[in-house]
Amino acid sequence: MKSSNGNGTIATRSDGPLSVQHVAFDANGNMPLSEQERQAMIEQLEHKFAEVMDILRIDRTSDPNSRETPRRLARMWVNELFIGRYTPPPPVTIFPNRREVNELIISKGIKVMSVCSHHWQPISGTCTIGYMPDKSIIGLSKLTRIVEWFSRRGQIQEEMGEQIADYLEELLRPRALGVIISAKHYCMIARGVEADHEHSDMVTSVMRGQLQHDANLRNEFLRLAIP
Residue 183 touches Zn ion, criterion: CB under 5 A:
no
Taking alpha carbons only, the member of 85, 225, 72, 77 closest to residue 151 is 85
Which position among 105, 171, 187, 189 is part of the footprint of Zn ion (CB under 5 A)?
Answer: 187
Residue 135 touches Zn ion, criterion: CB under 5 A:
no
Residue 184 touches Zn ion, criterion: CB under 5 A:
no
Name the residue nearer to Zn ion (CB basis): 104 or 116.
Answer: 116
Taking alpha carbons only, the member of 141, 210, 202, 204 closest to residue 169 is 210
Interface characters, 137-176, with Zn ion (x: CB under 5 A): ----------------------------------------
DSSP 98: T
Distance CA 106, CA 141 (A): 12
Q: Around Cβ 92, how many Cβ atoms within 10 Å?
A: 16
- Binding segment for Zn ion (CB under 5 A), chosen from 16-24, 146-154, 159-167, 181-189, is 181-189
Which position among 112, 116, 180, 217 is part of the footprint of Zn ion (CB under 5 A)?
Answer: 116
**CA-angle at 140, arms to 136 and 143, nearest 5°:** 90
Residue 67 touches Zn ion, criterion: CB under 5 A:
no
CB of 166 to Zn ion, least distance (A): 23
Residue 119 touches Zn ion, criterion: CB under 5 A:
yes
Which position among 72, 118, 191, 213 is part of the footprint of Zn ion (CB under 5 A)?
Answer: 118
Letter string b/e over residues 203-221, b meaning 16 or more CB atoms within 10 A of that residue's CB? ebbbbbbbbeebeebbebb
- Binding segment for Zn ion (CB under 5 A), chosen from 46-54, 87-95, 116-124, 168-176, is 116-124
Taking alpha carbons only, the member of 107, 110, 108, 112 closest to residue 125 is 112
Q: Which parts of this chain interact with Zn ion (CB under 5 A)?
A: 116, 118-119, 187
